[in-house]
A and B are shown apart, each in its own frame.
Chain A
């Protein structure tokens, strides 16, 4: 049976990085662990939906993000293109009811429209070839009023020694995004209230959000490795402009 090239890459990555993946967010480097814990805090803050909400963890990898999301009381569907990653995510799942694993490609999600309260894409978009297609699919499966939360490494991630080493070892795709590029993709897909957050913090008012956007735009060339955090909403029927 023919295997999708991304699956071969994913399974190769799994085999080579198994121990590291299984341990996440705890690693041998305390600074790396601290960063991962800070990041999951940001995901939870930006996701911000009510207990019992249905959340799609897209590109869940070894499943440590969904472990935390489920601790918050969400019902989580884990999606990854790598079957082995999903097996690993289930092995660490000690909560009931467990996260539900589905092997799928983010560009062709196997879900009906308007079914999820939130979509989380954490550290995963930069491994996906057609990002606009992935974002369009996220829009489709979200309920009106649902939110998407994106956490991505910075603009020059693909040039960083660690990303280059991973790409060399495993063949997995590595990219870097500009914040404005992701904002544009979200807007074109139909998302509104596209918000950029520094270090995953929520800015309280529209004015602060605007100032944070301007500051981010000006600082980005100086801080190209800064992590990108974006959140956006699918408009409700009343918010949508008349065709």
Chain B
């Protein structure tokens, strides 16, 4: 689980917009950029080059 205070300040590195936290998938999603950032070993990897494109319409 990610630190609650960290979640309050994290934003998408590309658009600086809001992220959706999905603990089961270990991912942080930005629906504006349609990018998914993985969380590995409780470390969010917030690198645009390593993000995965999102499919579907989200929430």
Interface residues of chain A, those whose CB is within 8 Å of chain B, are 1-4, 7, 75, 77, 81, 83, 86-87, 90, 100-105, 108-113, 115
Interface residues of chain B, those whose CB is within 8 Å of chain A, are 3, 5-6, 9-14, 16, 37, 40-41, 43-50, 52
A-side contacts of B41, CB under 8 Å: 87
Contact, CB under 8 Å: B43 / A104 = no
Q: Which of A3, A83, A105, A111 contacts B40 (CB 8 A)?
A: A83
- The 3 A-B residue pairs with the shortest CB-CB distance, nearest first, are A110-B46, A108-B13, A110-B13
Give the distance to chain A from B19, nearest Cβ to Cβ, in Å. 8
Contact, CB under 8 Å: B13 / A87 = no
Contact, CB under 8 Å: A115 / B13 = no
A-B contact pairs, 15 of them (CB 8 A): A4-B50, A77-B9, A100-B3, A101-B43, A102-B44, A103-B43, A104-B47, A108-B14, A108-B48, A110-B11, A110-B44, A111-B10, A111-B11, A112-B10, A113-B16
Q: Which of A3, A7, A100, A109 contacts B6 (CB 8 A)?
A: A100
Bound CA–CA A77/B50 (angstroms): 21
Q: A110-B44, A111-B11 are in contact. List 20 more A-B contacts (CB 8 A).
A: A2-B50, A3-B50, A4-B49, A7-B50, A83-B40, A83-B43, A86-B43, A100-B3, A100-B6, A101-B43, A102-B6, A103-B47, A104-B46, A104-B47, A105-B48, A109-B13, A110-B12, A111-B10, A112-B9, A112-B10
Bound CA–CA A86/B46 (angstroms): 13
Contact, CB under 8 Å: A102 / B47 = no
B-side contacts of A103, CB under 8 Å: 43-47
A-side contacts of B49, CB under 8 Å: 2-4, 7
Give the distance to chain B from A82, nearest Cβ to Cβ, in Å. 10
Bound CA–CA A104/B9 (angstroms): 14
Chain B residue at smallest Cβ distance from A140: B16
Chain A residue at smallest Cβ distance from B52: A1
Chain A residue at smallest Cβ distance from B17: A112
B-side contacts of A4, CB under 8 Å: 47, 49-50
Contact, CB under 8 Å: A110 / B43 = no
Give the distance to chain A from B24, nearest Cβ to Cβ, in Å. 21
Bound CA–CA A77/B48 (angstroms): 19
Chain A residue at smallest Cβ distance from B48: A108
B-side contacts of A112, CB under 8 Å: 9-11, 16
Bound CA–CA A86/B44 (angstroms): 11
A-side contacts of B52, CB under 8 Å: 1
Give the distance to chain B from A133, nearest Cβ to Cβ, in Å. 12
Q: Which of B16, B44, B47 contacts A105 (CB 8 A)?
A: B47
Quick one: given A104-B13, A110-B12, A111-B9, are A81 and B50 in contact (CB under 8 Å)?
Answer: no
